């Protein structure tokens, strides 16, 4: 049941949590601004080949080793897209950012065991490709 009193309490807690991540948000935006100035389009394009499969692989790897709130991946992904990086790569990047967690692996391993951790992460890796590919393909067919 939705209670207004409880909602107000939670809203206050959420505000507090938000102010806790605000320095990180400002830092990330500051770094993105700096990278946009320093990195040229040619530099970014040298990492991404233009081949959908290879670009998705790079996007998945970079997203998988990155950590942070999902909005960071949206901001970075959105800026990469503006620089002309393919949507295949950007989709794989934002997807693996939240589904793969190299940093969280030891904790997952200790709580769920080797078997579960390997299966879940291999599936998440493969599906970063599958879901990204299907999403962009469908988007291209629809537009």
Binding stretches for another protein (CB under 8 A): 2-3, 6-7, 10-11, 13-15, 17-18, 20-24, 26-34, 36-38, 70-71, 74-75, 77-78, 81, 87, 90-91, 94-95, 98-99, 101, 104, 107-108, 111-112, 115-116, 119-120, 123-124, 127, 130-131, 134-135, 138-139, 142-143
Closest CB 117 distance from another protein, rounded Å: 11
Question: Measured from the CB of residue 47, what is the shortest distance to another protein in angstroms?
Answer: 20
Task: List all residues 6 or more positions away from 86 whose beta carbon is below 8 Å from its beta carbon.
Answer: 48, 50, 52, 55
Torsion angles phi and psi, residue 37, rounded to 5: -80, -40
């Amino acid at each position: 049941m939705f209670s207004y009193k409880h909602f107000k309490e939670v809203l206050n807690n959420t505000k507090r949590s938000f102010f806790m991540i605000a320095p990180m948000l400002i830092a990330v935006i500051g770094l993105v601004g700096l990278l946009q100035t320093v990195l040229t389009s040619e530099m970014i394009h040298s990492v991404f080949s233009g081949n959908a499969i290879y670009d998705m692989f790079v996007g998945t790897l970079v997203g998988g080793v990155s950590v942070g709130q999902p909005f960071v991946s949206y901001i970075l992904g959105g800026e990469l897209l503006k620089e002309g990086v393919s949507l295949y790569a950007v989709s794989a990047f934002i997807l693996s950012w939240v589904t793969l967690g190299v940093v969280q692996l030891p904790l997952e391993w200790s709580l769920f065991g080797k078997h579960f951790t390997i299966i879940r992460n291999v599936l998440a890796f493969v599906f970063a490709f599958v879901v990204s590919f299907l999403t962009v393909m469908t988007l291209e067919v629809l537009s």
